[in-house]
Amino acid sequence: MANKESTLRIEQVKSPIGYPKNQREVLRGLGLRRIRHVVERQDTPAVRGMVRKIQHLVRIVED
């Protein structure tokens, strides 16, 4: 059995309009472009910190 790296599935649920520019940049840094867009990223402290900074705009998708 192969060792599967842990990943996070992140979905954008709210528009960044009206929020500070640095929060919009974090969304783009994660690769999120539009509402309902889902990306898969490695579960690292850096990615967790990015998600925490914009937790009001995204949600973690459970499989």
**pLDDT at position 1:** 44
Question: What is the extent of the structural domain holding 37?
Answer: 7-60
Tens of pLDDT, residue by residue over 7-59, are: 999 999 999 999 999 999 999 999 999 999 999 999 999 999 999 999 999 99
Domain count of the chain? Answer: 1
Residue 30 inside a domain? The answer is: yes
Q: 21-60 b/e with 16+ CB inside 10 Å = b? A: eeebebbeebebeeeeeebebeeeeebeebbeebeebbee
pTM: 0.86
The label of the residue with tokens 């599967």 reads: 4
CATH at 45: 3.30.1390.20
Residue 52 inside a domain? The answer is: yes
CA distance 41 to 5: 10
